Amino acid sequence: MDFAAAVTVRPGRAEDCADVGRMIRELAAFEKLSEQVKITDEGLCEDGFGQDPFYKCVVAELPPECRSKEGHTVIGYGLYYFTYSTWKGRNIYTEDLYVMPEFRGKGVGRKLLREIAKIALEKGCTQMRLGVLDWNRPAIDFYFRRGAVDLTAAEGWHSFRFGAEALKQLALGEAGTGAGPGSLRP
């Protein structure tokens, strides 16, 4: 059987949130960051399929006769959302691209990424962006083989994040003024 041909990539639905949530937790465990996962399956459902969706996703699904060892038919997902570049216009950001370990190396990730790329082009996006941990060499190589450019190496871009407490301080005008990592200096 041609395994890749058996895999269907389709738009995610609200009823997929339990499977997507399961795989988010699997991905976090792989990245050694399980303690950072705070989202619930209900939160995923509201945030992706509620009145004001914040994200979209595609899922990789197998027919029931090909299910995983644990009995799952949804074996991968790609979670994305749209952003905007003042230099390039419409962009798509792929937050997660994940395939269960037993199905890696069989073309599932490639099919998920291809589907997100098609969606990006249909929406008039000029770029797809994503992040990869610096130690995840298989993922880095996967993206390089498909034409990705490492912006940290090529252009010197750094990605920053304001956590919940820093965000509150910014909103209240109480941001720190210290210099160095962790400071909120303008």
Catalytic positions: 143
Q: Where are the alpha helices (DSSP H) in the chain?
A: 3-6, 17-30, 41-49, 108-122, 137-145, 151-155, 164-172
**Which residue intervals of 80-177 are DSSP H helices?**
108-122, 137-145, 151-155, 164-172
Smallest Cα–Cα separation from 10: which of 20, 25, 1, 21? 20
Number of other CB atoms surrounding residue 177 within 10 Å: 8
Cβ(121)–Cβ(114) below 8 Å: no
How far is it, in rounded angstroms, from Cα 34 to Cα 47? Answer: 20
3-state secondary structure of 98: strand
Q: Cα–Cα distance between 29 and 37 in angstroms, integer?
A: 10
